[in-house]
Structure 1
């Protein structure tokens, strides 16, 4: 197994809750606000393939003719500045992405045809669902550039992790540190669960494992 697959598999074995606490501990702002799952299941993790949108001008433009260039395993990140004027992801894109082995799509805006994405089992995250088309309203302005979704900066190649609790972004250069912290946090929570299952009080088990300080920033930690 390649080092790349090992890292992504390790993130898939975690929850976004554990990864989120790890980001907090390391002083990294990576939780994308307001973008939740509308289709699919489990935890997804993949490298970001970024697309930035803008309002359409007099010269028109396309909302989604990039999908055939996305690598299998990547996560499509569509930055539409939270605009809800029209959708930028629908059934044809879900079908093509699923066929190509794309891991997921994250939309900072609106999507549609979610029933089809659910039939396919394709993981789709969005700020809202609405049937109104984005064609002639917005266009894909740039591909493979740094973007912002849910108040979080995303660079091409960053790791996007998402599950039923939401979406977050791990900077590529901090993946190992975030992974180590998240594993430690999850191991600690598992130890607390085991003690409670054996009859311990939750408050006492939490105190023994310093639960309320697990997410606190490490002194001297600097975000990238």
Structure 2
């Protein structure tokens, strides 16, 4: 996917993209992972990392940040653990300085004030002060990881805003984008019609609003 295509994704909100996923019968909407600031947004290709519990062999939370390309979104799975973090102030500072596009965590983050202070977007299931050191270790990067029930491959498109996060599989992204833009166009025409004095129920019926997100043949 070229930067032009990413710009088209960026122009759409997660709500419209989620509607398009519904219409196509595709996974991708991730419930429960939200930004620390509603103004935070992310849009870019995924750089993935998987965490696992530390055992007798030890291990560290990992030094991978220098391998993340500018504009990529760091997607970390700590399997939804809420008792320890995998992201904090040092990673926030380095990521921001390197032009990384943001971080999405299946788990929690700490040092939230630093993220807010410099405007670096972090999306997570919550926040905690408790370190991941000696509790979890980085099992690997560049492998498929899960955000909830959604599988994320390296290079998949991540879009996040105040409503949450959606994942567009790389091979499906353009298809989803075309449908999302068509839905957005129909909704824009409904808003324009209402602004011109048409009844909302009539405008919705004329534009087929109630079926915009429904899979063809599902009813």
How would you bin the TM-score normalised by the shorter chain?
A: over 0.9
Which residue of structure 2 aligns with residue 27 of structure 1? Answer: 25
Alignment partner for residue 11 of structure 1, among 1, 9, 12? 9
Contact 1:40 1:117 (C-alpha < 8 Å) held by counterparts = no
Deviation for aligned residue 1:128: 0.6
Which residue of structure 2 aligns with residue 59 of structure 1? Answer: 57
Partners of 2:112 and 2:5 in 1: how far apart? Answer: 29
Which residue of structure 2 aligns with residue 171 of structure 1? Answer: 169
Deviation for aligned residue 1:64: 3.6
Which residue of structure 2 aligns with residue 194 of structure 1? Answer: 192
TM-score by length of 2: 0.95
Matched, 1:146 2:144: yes
Deviation for aligned residue 1:48: 0.6
Partners of 1:183 and 1:16 in 2: how far apart? Answer: 12
Deviation for aligned residue 1:216: 1.1
Q: Deviations over 1:159-185 (max 9, x none)?
A: 011100000100000111111001111
Matched, 1:105 2:77: no
Contact 1:78 1:108 (C-alpha < 8 Å) held by counterparts = yes
Which residue of structure 2 aligns with residue 212 of structure 1? Answer: 210
Contact 1:64 1:88 (C-alpha < 8 Å) held by counterparts = no
Q: Deviations over 1:128-165 (max 9, x none)?
A: 11111111111111110011112100001100111000
Aligned positions, number: 218
Q: Deviations over 1:28-68 (max 9, x none)?
A: 11011210011473542111100011111112222141111
Aligned Cα RMSD in Å? 1.4
